[in-house]
Amino acid sequence: MAKIQLENITKKFGELTAVNDVSLEVSDGEFVALLGPSGCGKTTTLRLIAGLEVPNEGRILIGDKEVTKLPPRDRDIAMVFQDYALYPHMTLLDNIGYPLKVRGVAKPDITARVTEVATELQIGDLLERRPGQVSGGQQQRASVARALVHQAQVFLFDEPLSNLDAKLRLEARAFLKHLQQEVGVTAVYVTHDQAEAMALADRIAVMNYGRVMQLGHPLDVYRRPANTFVAAFIGSPPMNLLPCEVDIHAGKILFEGDRVLDIASYRERWGGVLKNGRDITLGVRPENIAISSTEVPGSIPSRVYVIQPLGGEWLVVTQVGGELVSVRLFQDEAPELSENVWLKFDLDRTFLYDKNGDLLQ
């Protein structure tokens, strides 16, 4: 076990800056997910930690040892690849035992250790087969077994579940979480699936354009997005983002189409940080909006656009001026809504972002 430190890491491929001045610290035994859209630099960051790429600038430390320019084998890491990278010409036994074979472990010891790990992962009876002769889920377990077989200090996962179908993915997710809690190993996990990141990680680093946009506990990242990118990326459906103007002296937020929201009681919270009331974005999660068929104080009018049943809940999409606002209703019966409804935001869970998209707090 060891901590990982990235200090001001920059990686360029020709003109393209894949990772831009990223600093990140993963504590001993912590599970950190790198989350972001494709091309955001998350996989490159992982490959930099693995030693498959060398940074242009910055330092990487694993434990207390600087490894910035060391090859992978001198870093004591284990990695699970997106395509599993199981060698097609070897049996699962040879595949899983390969890290031990490379380290010169005696053959009987390799067989014993591989059998132990494989049995734990419920693929103990498949060891004589080749990767092509087992299912996708079993291949995935085999690739995890290969990472587990030698007790590395650091575990790296590169989208290990993205090649599984939906049902298997949920199973494998639970299995990985259980495994991580049991082994308690330091892990960095790359994914583009926010649900996976939320479910597995102790902390999430949301990345975009090679930068870390927010780093924090999954629920903090969800409840209090640090900028509009994170707000729009996390959550399904994501946070509602509405352009508006704020007149803090009058205690009002003005939306398109002369809709006015009274925020007089929140003047203190926002008054200190608001320099200019123009080009503001208001962010509120769909579950933090109450909806009613009649006008109530502190609400804004809107029109129902579509109602979608989602089983245990309802997703009501309404129109405020030209913007669509999603509202989640947790009730069994179909909501009885007229065409015109009033939306009341939970102002304790409503956030304002400046014109650069950063949270005003």
Partner 1 sequence: MRNYESTFSKLLLVLFSLACMAFFALPLLWLLTAPFTPMTTLSVEIPDNPTLDNFRTVFKNEFAIRALFRNNLIIAGGAMLSVATVATLASYGLSRTRVVGRDILVYVLMLFSSVVGGTAAMVPLFLLAYHLQLIDTHVGVILVMTGGLLPAAIFMMRDFVDSIPRSYEEAALVCGAGPFRIFRDIAFPLVRPGVAVVAIWAFVNAWGAFLIPVVMLRSPENMPASVALYSFYSEAGTPVHTLVSAYAFLYGLPVLVLYLLVNWRFGFRFFGGIKS
Bridge partner residues of 214 (DSSP) = 206
Min separation Cβ 145 and partner 1, Å: 13
72 versus 124: smaller Cβ distance to partner 1: 72
Q: Amino acid identity of 152?
A: A
Q: Which helix (H) or strand (E) holds 220?
A: helix 218-223
> With contacts defined by CB under 8 A, how many residues of the chain interact with partner 1?
22
φ and ψ at 357, to 5 degrees?
90, 10
Q: Which of 7, 10, 52, 216 binds partner 1 (CB under 8 A)?
A: 52
Indicate whether 102 belongs to the interface with partner 1 (CB under 8 A): yes
Within 10 angstroms of residue 5's Cβ, the number of other Cβ atoms is 18
**CA distance readout (Å), 313 to 128, 238, 360:** 48, 16, 31
Determine, following the binding rule CB under 8 A, whether residue 118 of this chain makes contact with partner 1: no
Identify the residue among 98, 157, 233, 345 touching partner 1 (CB under 8 A).
Answer: 98
Told to check if 73 binds partner 1 by CB under 8 A, we report yes
Per CB under 8 A, 69 contacts partner 1: no
- Closest distance to partner 1 from the beta carbon of 29 (Å): 21
User: 190, 180, 204: which is closest to 159 by C-alpha?
Assistant: 190
Binding of partner 1 at residue 72 (CB under 8 A)? yes
Contact partners, residue 32, CB within 8 Å, separation at least 6: 24, 26, 187, 188, 189, 201, 202, 203, 204, 205
**Consecutive H or E run containing 177:** helix 166-183
Q: Is 87 in the site for partner 1 (CB under 8 A)?
A: yes
The binder of partner 1 chosen from 71, 136, 271, 301 (CB under 8 A): 71
Calpha distance 70→229 (Å, rounded): 34
Which of 13/305 has CB closer to partner 1? 13
Is residue 231 at the binding interface for partner 1, with CB under 8 A as the rule?
Answer: no
| By CB under 8 A, residue 131 contacts partner 1 | no
Residues that bind partner 1 (CB under 8 A): 50-52, 71-73, 77-79, 81-83, 85, 87-89, 98-99, 102-103, 146, 156
